[in-house]
Amino acid sequence: MFRKNSSNGYKSVMAGIEQKTLVHGEKTLMTEFILEKGRQLPKHVHPHEQTGYLITGHIRLTIGTEEYNVVPGDSWCVPGGVEHGAEILETAVAIEVFSPVREDYLPKEEDAK
């Protein structure tokens, strides 16, 4: 699968948090998040392993009982089944890869255009 860069396809996950699936295969899915300063990504759990990379901004990431001060260039891995969340300290852009594919993040047919 190949997809050209486009400003289309962003969806609101919650107030101040936008998500766009960039590309996916049989076993992985890559997505971009735009996170607005002052927002909270509540702690949550899912079965997918999640690796990420912060492109811009500043977040405080909690993985399990550990807290991390994340700045551009930092990366992380959240094992499946581990509680995690984030506080957005400065508007940020992050890229994350999920395995297995998150069915809820698969683009609809019209989004893929």
Q: What is the pLDDT of residues 40-57, one digit of tens each?
A: 999 999 999 999 999 999
Amino acid residing at 10? Y
Q: Is the pTM of this model over 0.85?
A: yes
Does residue 113 carry a pLDDT above 80?
no
So where are the chain's domains?
Answer: 19-103
Rounded Cα distance between 49 and 6, Å, is 26
Query: For residue 88, what pLDDT is reported?
Result: 98
CA distances from 10 to 18, 22, 67, 104 (A): 6, 10, 28, 14
The per-residue pLDDT for 110 is 46
> What is the pLDDT averaged over residues 65-89?
98
Mean pLDDT in residue range 82-95: 98
Question: Please, what CATH class does the domain formed by 19-103 belong to?
Answer: mainly beta
